[in-house]
Amino acid sequence: MPVIARRPILRNALAAAGIALAAVHLPAAATTDLTAVVDTCPVGGRDPSSALRMHHCGVWSPDDFAAVPSWNTLQLLFKDPTPNGGGVVATLKCMRRSTGVVSTVATVRSVHSPTVTTRSVRLPAPLNFKNCGYFVQIEVDGTTLTPKALMVVLRTA
């Protein structure tokens, strides 16, 4: 096959590989009834003064042309062997598009549970993607018996 004919094939193969690799690093893909935000969330680092492992994960509207998702619950799936619980905290935050001010929408905390369990909290109002960019901040206390955040989801209850 001549070199000129191979170039488009190679270019298409490289583009497909790039798209596939990019998808691995994108924030969680949302559907209309559920979005998972922990598994694809990058680790933001560890604060040496508090030994917290903190993650920040973007929450994307499933489709700019569809109706606003009807999510009304923030749910945390976790394992927390700490005696008092609270080793995992997931907070849904809104960054106002007009001002950049960040505010807390909802927070859910783990309780003592040596086995995998969930906790949920209702959102106070529907999400408004036109006014806010949403993200979830997940904090895991690294000073204790290693609690784990397994998944955080926004869902319709």
CATH number, domain of 24, equals 2.60.120
How many angstroms from the chain centroid is the CA of residue 134?
A: 10
- Bridge partners (DSSP) listed for residue 73: 122, 155
Cβ contacts of 20 within 8 Å, gap of 6 or more? none
The average confidence (pLDDT) of the chain is 73
Q: Which of 129, 137, 126 is nearest to 97 (CA)?
A: 129
Q: Please give the order of strands across the beta sheet that includes 148-155.
A: 34-36, 148-155, 73-80, 113-122
99: its two tokens: 């001002």
Looking at residue 119, what is its pLDDT? 95
Residue numbers in the chain where pLDDT is lower than 70:
1-52, 62-68, 142, 144-145
Asked whether 39 and 28 are in contact (CB, 8 A), the reply is: yes
Q: What pLDDT was estimated at residue 122?
A: 96
Number of domains making up the chain: 1
pLDDT at 108: 96
Q: What is the pTM of this model?
A: 0.68
Residue 95: which domain range? Answer: 3-155
Q: What is the pLDDT of residue 3?
A: 46
How many Cβ atoms sit within 10 Å of the Cβ of residue 40? 15
pLDDT of residue 106: 96
- pLDDT score for 157: 80
| pLDDT score of 92 | 95
Beta bridge partners of 76: 119, 152
